[in-house]
Amino acid sequence: MTNLDAPHLTAVVLAGGKGSRLMPHTAETPKPLVEIAGRPVVEYLLAGLKKAGVRKVIMAVNHMADQIESRLGDGSRYNIDISYSREPKPLSTVGPLTLIPDLPENFIVANGDILTDLDIASLYRMHLERSAELTVATYEGTEKIDYGVLEIDPDGRVAAFAEKPDYSFIVSMGIYVFNRSVLELAPRNEPYGFDRLMLDMLRLQRDVYAYPYGGFWLDVGRPADYERAQSDAARLRGLL
């Protein structure tokens, strides 16, 4: 396993999506470059990776790739080495990783549109300690259901009722640590997403671990999330 104290940790940032859910903000701008509090959202992620000891970032790009490459360049302004891997066609979230040669034994993968103060170094360390093949940073969310919710028994009787209950759930934060062996499951030259990877790994009883996190996390995927992020500029400055 790779030593956490190695001088260069590697991260792949997934930045090839069209950001359709974030329209109209993504009509002429790729989602990683949409500005939050005056900075492209991906810059907050790059700052977090740098704090974790990452010195090499590979941007997996497709949609509006020229804009991303022009804005981020070689990473010198961030004191990170940035390179680019272009998808010839959209390959979903895991497929792009198969195009990148010479990935280290363990590497970080992150969606290019997330805001978080997650301790990425701690995530990486736990992955190594458990000799995991895949570690998923997770977040427990709560959503209020705006309806009366009934519980029905097998005979059709109402067994329980709750008026507008809170529903708790655990979600992937969009940041992971991969062992290179995981990529053996991904077909070449066709879309392969994180959903399929998880189902395949569970079916094959491969080692997947969760890294629960309760701090700040926001996936800037929808206009409502974008507006929420814009209103929290003070917190965002702390990420840089």
Domains and CATH numbers, the chain: 9-137+172-237 (3.90.550.10)
Q: What is the residue-level pLDDT of the chain in tens, covering all 240 positions?
A: 444 544 469 999 999 887 777 777 777 888 899 888 889 999 999 999 999 999 999 999 998 999 999 999 999 999 999 999 999 899 999 999 999 999 999 999 999 999 999 999 999 999 999 999 999 999 998 888 889 999 999 999 999 999 988 888 899 999 999 999 999 999 998 999 999 999 999 999 999 999 999 999 988 877 787 788 887 777 777 787
Whole-angstrom CA distances from 34 to 24, 72, 98, 145 are 11, 13, 27, 30
Element (H, E) at 46: helix 41-51
Of 33, 1, 4, 5, the C-alpha closest to 17 is 33
DSSP-assigned beta bridge partners for residue 171? 139
164 a catalytic residue: yes
Picking from 236, 237, 207, the residue whose alpha carbon sits closest to that of residue 114 is 236
pTM given for the model? 0.88
How far are the Cα atoms of 3, 33, 45, 138, 155 from residue 240, in angstroms, in the given order?
A: 26, 16, 9, 22, 57
